[in-house]
Amino acid sequence: MKEWKKYLVLGIVALLGMPLLILMWSKDGPRPDEPAPRTEAAVLDKDAARTEAPLPPGLVEMEFFDRQTPGVCALPGLNIAELPEDAVVYAVSVYGGQELGWPLDRISGHEGHLIKVAVNSPERPVLLMLGTYEPTVWRIEWTEGTRILGVMVSGYHSQFVSGLPPRTPMLISSYDQKQPGAHFYVSALAKKNPADFADLSRTLFGRAPETVVPTEKGLVHIGPEPPTSRPWVSAAPWRPEDFQLSGPLPGKFGLNQAVAAGLIRPALVRDQHQWQLAKAERERAAALAEGLPEKLIPPPPEMRGSGDQPLHQTYVVLSPDFVLPNGLYGGNSAFFLLPPGVPLPQGDLGHSQFRFMEDGRSLGPHPDER
């Protein structure tokens, strides 16, 4: 078979096989609890089942996550039959709040958020349904005379509560924390209709919510603005240090830790170019071995811009002691350039990619060849 016919056939086979390959990838996405890759073969085995990060839920008007932990969706210590007739349910649902500047959990790798909920309702006792997407601390305060009878907190990532009295019935049910019950939030583009929460609210409190309260810059005000003579109170002071992690951090925070410890360093354009040259040489040798005329082989790539320019979320691994932080998915994914002799780091690669500066190979699911 002539050379041009052979490559034409190979190209058609590749195009026909791509949809099947995409279908195979889509069947099983990455899991945060996958074992750490220890060899290139292990990384390749995991890559075969990886896919891109799923779109965040909530792009429809209401999202109740379908993978729920078996169990009873109820607030411990709350007897629905004993609730006052005039008790009112307020729902709060938002994508995120005020950014804290540090992570709240070791799962998501996302920056933590703070949402302050101020309740003024001395006339009617209050039940709260609070939902968000981002990992969040809900800081709850109220006015004297206001009674908060129960709180349900939900979300996609881990949720925490500050300020409530210890005996207040409360249920935290987020997707990441795998507690029993439905996990919810409404997207920023959705119509925030109380009817969306009615079924879950009746299950928890025996009544539908009266309204969905809007949020603004991480602040939620429930009820009328109180007079200045009625101060806000809570059961405990706000202590940010109570929600700060110690030890290895996830996501971009863990990468910053590793840079500060000298285990990795931000990669420069010249580091990336070294990998690109090695990749081009490897591909050239493979093409020549297949019989492709040298004049048809593309020339080595030229370096773009200054060699000292840093690259976005790309790092050179310096130490065998470097361990990949958790949560390297989606926007937290990164490229890791491995110089000759540096072993594969332990940990979950997520959506990130290893690149070998010695021979231009790469491991991992990230499609960007930069």
User: pLDDT, tens digit, for every residue of 184-241?
Assistant: 665 554 556 778 788 888 989 999 998 888 888 899 999 998 888 778 999 999 999 9
One domain, residues 148 and 176: yes
Are 75 and 150 in contact, with CB atoms under 8 Å apart?
yes
* DSSP result, 133-184: SS-EEEEEEEETT--EEEEEEEESS-EEEES--TTS-EEEEETTTT-BS--E
- Distance separating alpha carbons of residues 56 and 58, to the nearest angstrom: 7
One domain, residues 92 and 127: yes
Residue with the two structure tokens 């840079």: 259
Question: Which backbone phi and psi does 93 adopt, to 5 degrees?
Answer: -145, 125
Domain end point (choices 210, 243, 276): 243
Total structural domains in the chain? 2
* DSSP result, 329-342: -GGG--EEEE-TTP
What's the first-to-final CA gap in the chain, in angstroms? 35
Which of 97, 93, 98, 237 minimizes the C-alpha distance to 164? 237
In a domain, 5, yes or no: no
Length of the chain: 370
One domain, residues 47 and 156: no
In a domain, 12, yes or no: no
In a domain, 181, yes or no: yes
Domain of 107 in residue numbering reads as 65-243
One domain, residues 188 and 231: yes
Domain end point (choices 221, 243, 265): 243
pLDDT in tens, the chain (370 residues): 444 444 444 454 444 444 433 333 333 434 434 444 456 655 545 544 433 334 333 322 233 333 344 456 788 899 999 999 999 999 998 889 999 999 999 988 899 999 999 999 999 999 999 999 899 999 999 999 999 999 999 888 999 999 999 899 999 888 887 766 666 665 554 556 778 788 888 989 999 998 888 888 899 999 998 888 778 999 999 999 999 998 899 999 999 999 999 999 999 999 999 999 999 999 999 999 988 888 888 888 988 889 899 999 999 999 999 999 999 998 899 999 999 999 999 999 999 999 999 999 999 986 555 5
- Distance separating alpha carbons of residues 142 and 168, to the nearest angstrom: 13
One domain, residues 177 and 269: no
Element (H, E) at 212: strand 211-212
One domain, residues 267 and 299: yes
- Distance separating alpha carbons of residues 176 and 260, to the nearest angstrom: 29
CB atoms within 10 A of CB 366: 21
In a domain, 8, yes or no: no
Which of 313, 324, 297 minimizes the C-alpha distance to 368? 313
